């Protein structure tokens, strides 16, 4: 089992700025208020916006007011949300919680989530609507769950950006209260709410592994390691394991947990959230081990749609580049590539293969499956990390593909990723990890 006791890099306390541009305020970052664009936005290629964004009931209220429950529209209110909830057979208990918790804005945002937003939670090419019946009911026991769904939708939906601060603060406050409730809320509901808080931070390019590690600590306290892991617990662990993968975070600000390597290996099929086969995830969780690059090179993808096959192969080559980068960061330059593999694994060849596969992949992905493209982030950024191996046309392709993803999904995260990539290319930093560290960004590739 890997050593997880090593010290983590120094962490800086993230404080929310009370002044400055709206972009830094939404990301809860300090702002130097330079105009027309502040330094933080300029470095990450984010749109820097100044001006008042006054909204009654926003999170500029006191903490006491922020913890007060919202005034809902009343039990049994008839509106579009009521019809939608009846259509998906929502339980009376959850229906009452929604009616007594959410105001008009919250109800409108929840409608967006239940009609389109929930599809952003899965990368599986062959997605369906089972989430609404398998996971949404968990909200009936937890107001934090419900508020976290609304905050997530506000975080990724341009039409509701102005509502994000309010619902994020309410969700975070409620989640904190429920986790301190000593058994009053079911564990699965708390876990669900915590995952959404982590996902919200990830989508807004805010540090997220602090939330992730807190959830992992909670789950480890619930697990009974002397008994077989239940299927629902295994599903939760797999979600955590994916977010915890060493390959899928650049400049991680908290210690690694190796959840997938320790608890999730040996499953079969395709992981719904990542869109990757379990067998490939097993290998990606093992990049710290000798011989993983050979195992990745010889890995055979399972049956799947054409786009899936192309994506999986690109991710396999990206995994080999992750091994390369880890050894480069550790100073083991003499062990970067074993001589038995030779030129077949050179960074130039790997980058060429990755980008060729992605070019083919995007052709197969229909416009209504834009959520599938999020899994392209990992191979794209790993290809971008090989600065010396990239031609100008290849850099252009990487940038354009990320821009396309930003137009289809949450623009904050993808614009930030693009900003870090471009900053790395023009800098003298040895690795993209150094660039992210210099910019104080925890970069998600999931």
pLDDT in tens, 172-201: 999 988 888 756 788 888 888 888 899 899
Domain-embedded: residue 426:
yes
- The verdict on 119 and 37 lying in the same domain is no
In this structure, is residue 254 part of a structural domain?
Answer: no
Predicted TM-score (pTM) of the model is 0.76
pLDDT at residue 54, rounded to an integer: 30
Contact 414, 374 (CB under 8 A): no
Instruction: Note whether 300 and 437 are same-domain residues.
Output: yes
- Whether 283 is in a domain gets the answer no
51: alpha, beta or left? (left if phi > 0; alpha if psi -120 to 50): left
Number of H helices, E strands in the chain: 21, 2
Do residues 426 and 401 both lie within one domain? yes
- 131/34 same-domain check: no
pLDDT in tens, 209-220: 988 998 898 888
Residues 74 and 135 grouped into a single domain: yes
Are 28 and 122 in the same domain? no
Write down the pLDDT at residue 65: 33
CATH (domain of 49): 4.10.240.10
The answer to whether 323 and 307 have CB atoms below 8 angstroms apart is no
Residues 200 and 333 in one domain: no
Count of residues making up the chain: 446
281 within some domain: no
Which pLDDT score, from 0 to 100, does residue 77 have?
47
Same domain assignment for residues 67 and 31: no
Helices assigned H by DSSP within 287-431:
292-298, 306-330, 347-364, 377-384, 392-408, 411-426
Instruction: For residue 76, name the pLDDT band (cuts at 50, 70, 90).
Output: very low
296 and 440 inside one domain? yes
Pair (74, 24) in one structural domain:
no
- Expressed as residue numbers, the domain containing 46 is 16-53
| DSSP-derived 3-state class of residue 444 | strand
In contact, 110 and 262? CB cutoff 8 Å: no
Domain count, the chain: 3
128 and 21 within one domain = no
Q: For residue 28, tell me if it sits in a domain.
A: yes
* Whether 308 and 175 share a structural domain: no
């Amino acid at each position: 089992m890997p050593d997880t006791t090593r010290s983590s890099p120094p962490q800086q306390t993230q404080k929310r700025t009370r002044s400055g541009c709206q972009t830094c305020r939404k990301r809860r970052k300090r702002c130097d208020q330079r105009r027309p664009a502040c330094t933080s936005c300029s470095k990450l290629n984010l749109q820097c916006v100044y001006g008042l964004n006054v909204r009654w009931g926003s999170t500029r209220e006191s903490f006491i007011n922020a913890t007060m429950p919202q005034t809902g529209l009343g039990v049994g209110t008839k509106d579009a949300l009521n019809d939608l909830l009846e259509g998906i057979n929502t339980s009376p208990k959850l229906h009452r919680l929604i009616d007594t918790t959410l105001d008009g804005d919250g109800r409108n945002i929840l409608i967006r989530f239940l009609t389109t937003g929930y599809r952003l939670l899965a990368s599986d090419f062959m997605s369906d609507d089972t989430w609404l019946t398998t996971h949404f009911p968990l909200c009936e026991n937890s107001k934090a769950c419900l508020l976290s769904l609304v905050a997530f939708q506000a975080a990724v939906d341009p039409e509701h950006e102005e509502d994000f601060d309010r619902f994020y603060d309410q969700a975070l406050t409620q989640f904190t209260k429920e986790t301190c409730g000593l058994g009053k809320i079911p564990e699965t509901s708390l876990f669900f709410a915590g995952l959404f808080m982590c996902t919200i931070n990830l989508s807004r390019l805010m540090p997220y592994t602090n939330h992730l590690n807190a959830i992992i600590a909670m789950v480890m306290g619930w697990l009974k390691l002397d008994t077989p892991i239940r299927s629902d617990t295994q599903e939760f662990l797999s979600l955590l394991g994916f977010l915890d993968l060493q390959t899928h975070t650049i400049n991680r600000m908290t210690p690694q947990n190796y959840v997938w390597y320790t608890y999730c290996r040996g499953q079969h099929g395709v992981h719904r959230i990542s869109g990757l086969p379990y067998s490939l995830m097993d290998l990606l969780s093992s990049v710290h081990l000798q011989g993983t690059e050979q195992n990745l090179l010889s890995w055979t993808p399972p049956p799947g749609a054409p786009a899936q096959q192309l994506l999986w192969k690109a991710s396999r080559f990206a995994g080999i580049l992750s091994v390369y980068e880890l050894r480069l960061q550790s100073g083991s330059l003499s062990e970067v590539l074993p001589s038995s593999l030779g030129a077949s694994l050179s960074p130039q060849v790997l980058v060429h293969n990755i980008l060729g596969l992605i070019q083919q992949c995007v052709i197969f992905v229909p416009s209504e499956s834009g959520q599938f493209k999020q899994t392209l982030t990992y191979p794209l950024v790993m290809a971008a990390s090989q600065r010396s191996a990239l031609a100008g046309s290849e850099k252009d392709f990487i940038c354009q593909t990320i821009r396309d993803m930003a137009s289809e999904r949450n623009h904050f995260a993808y614009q930030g990723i693009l900003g870090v990539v471009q900053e790395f290319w023009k800098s003298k930093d040895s690795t993209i990890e150094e660039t992210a560290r210099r910019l104080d960004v925890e970069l998600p590739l999931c």
